[in-house]
Structure 1
Amino acid sequence: MKSLAIILLFISFRAISQSDTLIVEIIYGSKPLSKNGAHWFGGKLGGHIGLTIGEDSVMHFLPGGRVAATNINSDIGKYIISNKRRFYRTFSSDTLKTCRIFIPVTSTQKQQLLNDSKSFLKEGPYPYAFFGMRCAAACYHLLSLADVTKDLSRSKMTWKFIYPRKFRKHLFKEALKNNWKIIETKGDSKRKWDHD
């Protein structure tokens, strides 16, 4: 009986500590070098950030309608899940400058994120605003649900990660400290890309 209890304890410990991975998907902002090139939302400081939460599922935050300077005048944003191909077609370009950051988590952490964010897909938890929650701060929020990042107030998330470069710098620092894997791709030479 005692050995059975030890075996059950070992099995439950392994189930709790089983590893999984969250991947932060980053598209760098850019502007065209020629007058004929396409202009993107946010320009060079723009871009887009999402979080891979499944085999081919990227959760990301988008405007839900009107985007104003502040939360007061903006419509509620929306979280959606796209496949990777669709996520990377956000700006309708095949040659994007991208970065993928692989964050090891336990299956418990990942399940906590999935459970806590499920309601976000039905109704966004906050407005999408220029000086408010946008994709970088929203991705930080998702990571905090998995206990990867510190839990911050919405206003702190907003100002600390107001645009993607600030969030990238934070993630690169954490990746260096925690030995997270990073994969980067260069973008089209016909565009001026944001830098780190």
Structure 2
Amino acid sequence: MMATTEPVTEPKDERTVLAGRPPFTVDDLLRFPDDGNRYELFNGSLLVSPSPVPLHQLAIARLLRILEDAAPLELQPLPEVNLRVGPRDFFIPDLVVVPAETVEANELMFRPQDVLLAVEMVSPSTQGRDRHLKRSAYAEAGIPLYWRIELDEGPALYVHELADGEYKPADKHEAGETAALTAPFEVAFDPAALLRRRG
């Protein structure tokens, strides 16, 4: 009986080939493949994040619902929009609030002047950029409000308001207390609700 030989297959190269070369531009970024990663740019440097974990997605969905219920008709909360700050700066905030009229006018990108609030959910892979890099970039772009949500703290909500081109020290709202906020519109919620089980 003759032995049969299975065909030998070479291992596939799983590396993603990216268009352009550093420093990257937003136009380069638009030619990147859809490979499951989230690509952002800061001064031409590439920031790469994997898809959000389920708790991260849950917190975004819960906050989106809270803001949707409280927002006036002229303002619209949206998750994960493209935000073009300049030719070499591009971010994807976890959630934003924009004027409702800009939603129909923007097919692909929002500008900083469209954004009244940017929100980031801090995860282990994005701690440095959410706490420092994005806070500075959003302030420099003139975004009036930046909320940082630390999921590992209960969660806790940190509210940064723009003053003289910089964010003031954050007001911290801990899990178990109601954060009563007036901007970009009146809304009140306990940060713990972002991760609380249904039922």
TM more than 0.5: no
- TM category, shorter: under 0.3
Q: TM-score, normalised by structure 2?
A: 0.27
Bigger fraction of residues in helix: 1
Bigger fraction of residues in strand: 2
* Larger Rg over CA atoms: 2
Q: TM-score, normalised by structure 1?
A: 0.27
